[in-house]
Every structure is written in structure tokens, then in C-alpha cells.
Amino acid sequence: MLEIFDYEFMQRAFIAGLLIATLASISGTFIVLKRYSLMSETLAHSALVGVAVGLVAGYNPLWVAVIVAVLSSWLIEYLRSSFSLYSDAILSIILSGSLALAVIIVSLGGAFNNSLFSYLFGSILSVSSEDLVTIMLFGSLALGLLLIFSKELFFICYDEEVAKTSGIKVKFLNFLLVTVVAIIIALSIRVVGSLLIGALMVIPTAAALQFRVGFKNTMLISLVFALFSVIFGMTTSYYYSLPSGATIVLSVIALFIISLVINKK
């Protein structure tokens, strides 16, 4: 078809990108409706601590990122549900704390190089076969959990207390959701980069919400927007040698603006 698919690394990057678009947009629908948008940014920075540890210690950065992001998501959810703290303040503390920690680890380990840059902004050149297997493995687990509990999660997004009084295990499902989101974010930083993954999670849903349609359709529109942005962004990234995370995010922002304009009341 297109010459860009002649390269094996582009095939890998596209498969990884489309998987991540699916995961980010579906989990993003719940994240936006639960007013957890800042959570995705915070977890992305926590994942960076994992990347730093991985780079310095010589482990697969993606695996360590998944572990650190999940632990961080549990810490956030625990602090949020057990102490009377403002949740955006908690997120802000963990976000900056993680970034500081990541920078110190990387500096001490002398790993401040191009490899780190690719984890910050995403790079289509860097998706290895091992990365792709990791993304597929954890990605299908994350997607499976989201789909199994989608009705319960939707109810919780609508009204957490009423969901609780209906017998839904709200605390468990909140932990499950943040865990799944942490995994998705850690997996995404290869392609989109930790500084930009929050956007791929939040903006497709924010754009889809402008169409004022029911839950399923909102999720579908969000998915289509995310897939389109990844395809368009990666292609642009390939032809103009730009970081893929940045081109993907600008594509999705363009879709958001279009959605905003055509749905103006």
C-alpha cells in the first residue's frame, strides 16, 4: 500500500499506536467523566520514574514503568479515599515528586540521552518487538477488564454514592480503573511519550462529548478520533521526522477544535 509499511519498525509502530489509541480513548472516557483528567498526567510522570530506573539499572524500562505507575495509582487512590485531602493537590504533589525523582535517578545514572528524550515525547522508531509483545499482553488484559466492568464503571462515573447504595463495589472498581489506566499509560509512553499521553487519553473524549450523544456513542466517537489521530500523527511523524507524540497530540487537538465549532449551540 504505502511505502511506509515497507519498514518493519513502521508496521510495529502502527500496530502499537492503534492498540494504544484504543486503550487510551476507552479508558479516557471513564477518566474524563470521573473528573480524573489530571490523574493521567500524574501517572505518566510516575511511569517516567520506572523508565529512569529501567534505563539506569538495565531492565526493560516499559516493564518497570508499568510497575511504578500501578504502585503510584494505588497510592493516589489510597490517599484520596482515606484522607481528607483535595484530590487535585494529591495529584499535583505526586506529579512533581515523580518528575523530580526521575530526573535525579537519570542524572545519577548518567542516562540523560536521546533514549530518555524518546520516552518523554514518543518515538515511532523505538518500538521493539519486545515492546509490541508487552503492549499486546498488558493491553488485552486492560481492555478486557474495562469492557467487563464498563456498565459498573459508567454508573460510578454518573453517581458514585448511588452506585454504592445499589451494591456496586465502588472502592474495588475505583482501584481497578486506576490500575488499568496506570498500565495503559505506562505502555503508551513508547509511542506517545510521557509528557503527551495525558492528551491522548483526555482530548478524544472531550471532543466526543461535544456531540452530546449517549454513553456508547461517546465512547465510539472518542475511539475513532484517537485512531485517526494516531494514524495521521504517525504518518506525519514519519514523513517530517518529528516526534510522534507531538504530531498525534496536535492531530487530536485539531479534531477537538473541529468538534467544538461544528457543535456550537
Partner 1 sequence: MQLEFKIPIFDVKNLSFIVRENTILSNISLEIFHGEYIAIIGPNGGGKTTLIRMLLGLEKPTSGEVRLFGKKMKNFKEWHKIGFVPQRASLVDENFPATVEDIVKMGRVAKRGIFAGFSKEDAEVVEDAMAKMDIIHLKDKMIGTLSGGQRQRTMIARALASSPEILILDEPNTGVDMVSQQRFYKLLSKLNKEENITIVFITHDIGVIADDITRLFTINQQAAICNNPKETLSCEDMSALYGIDAHLISNHKHDCSGESGC
Residues that bind partner 1 (CB under 8 A): 33, 148-149, 151-152, 154-155, 158-159, 161-168, 208-209, 212-215, 217-218
Alpha-helical segments (H) within the chain = 8-33, 37-57, 61-82, 87-109, 114-121, 129-148, 150-158, 160-165, 170-188, 197-209, 215-240, 244-262
CB nearer partner 1, residue 120 or residue 153? 153
Min dist CB 18 to partner 1, Å, is 24
CB nearer partner 1, residue 58 or residue 214? 214
Min dist CB 212 to partner 1, Å, is 5
Residue 67 in grid coordinates? 510497575
CB nearer partner 1, residue 40 or residue 218? 218
With vertex at residue 145, the alpha carbon angle to CA 144 and CA 147, rounded to the nearest 5 degrees, is 65
Burial of 175 (0-12, 13-18, 19+ CB in 10 A): middle
Min dist CB 106 to partner 1, Å, is 40
Min dist CB 173 to partner 1, Å, is 11
CB nearer partner 1, residue 107 or residue 166? 166
Which residue carries 498525534 as its cell?
248
